[in-house]
Amino acid sequence: MSPANGALPAPEFSRIVTADAVRRADVTETIEATETERKALAERLELEAIGSLTATVKLRAVRGGQMIRVSGQLEADVVQTCVVTLEPVPAHVSESFDALFAPPSMIEDQGLEIDFDPSLSDEDIPEPMENNRIDIGELTAQHLSLGLDPYPHAEGVEFEGYDEDPAEEEVAEEPEKPNPFAVLQQLKSRN
């Protein structure tokens, strides 16, 4: 079911900081997800649970106050699902992140969405601010997602499925077919 008017659903873990507040003075926020937010975020990230999620986020104005640099450190205790046994796998995630935010008009003016400059890192390509606001909670949630083990497995469990290419196994099991030109070679050698 899509939200009305094509709007995106509200983020599960939202903490808004206005760019104007950051332009007046650097801002440091320590944010923590509530039980309700952790439950909703666990569902979105397909986790069994999120036991805790906190982040310390620093925001400062850069480039003459036109852009906002965000630096953060998140800590989370999560429970993923083992890809082999489907058992719960507890994990601790500790991630640092950086992002740059700019007004949408500034991004469009620079053409950064169209022209890719390989010398720029992800932290140097600005993300658009919506209504002069930055959601540091959603930014934290996105980086939690990136910090998760993509193939969690329970301790001592190894996946023993596809060590070799199945196509190679089939070829190795087939008997060797005789060379169709071997008969011609025998006829030639008789003459």
Q: Is residue 106 part of a domain?
A: yes
3-state secondary structure of 106: helix
Residue at 164 is within a domain: yes
Which residues form the domain of 141? 7-190
DSSP states of 174-190: SPPPPPTTHHHHHHHHH
In a domain, 2, yes or no: no
Q: List, in sequence order, every beta strand (DSSP E) within the chain.
A: 16-18, 27-32, 49-62, 67-81, 88-102, 127-128, 133-135
Are 93 and 53 in contact by the 8 Å Cβ rule? The answer is: no
Does some domain include residue 82? yes
pLDDT (tens digit, 0 to 9) for every residue of the chain, 191 residues total? Answer: 444 555 567 789 999 999 999 999 999 999 999 999 999 999 999 999 999 999 999 999 998 888 999 999 999 999 999 988 999 999 999 999 999 999 988 877 555 443 444 555 555 789 999 899 999 999 999 999 999 999 998 887 776 655 555 555 555 555 667 676 776 677 776 66
102 falls within a domain: yes
CA distance 31 to 135: 11
Total domains in the fold of the chain: 1
Q: Cα(129)–Cα(59) distance, rounded to whole angstroms?
A: 13
Residue 40 lies in a domain: yes
Q: Is residue 148 part of a domain?
A: yes
In a domain, 172, yes or no: yes
pTM of the model: 0.72
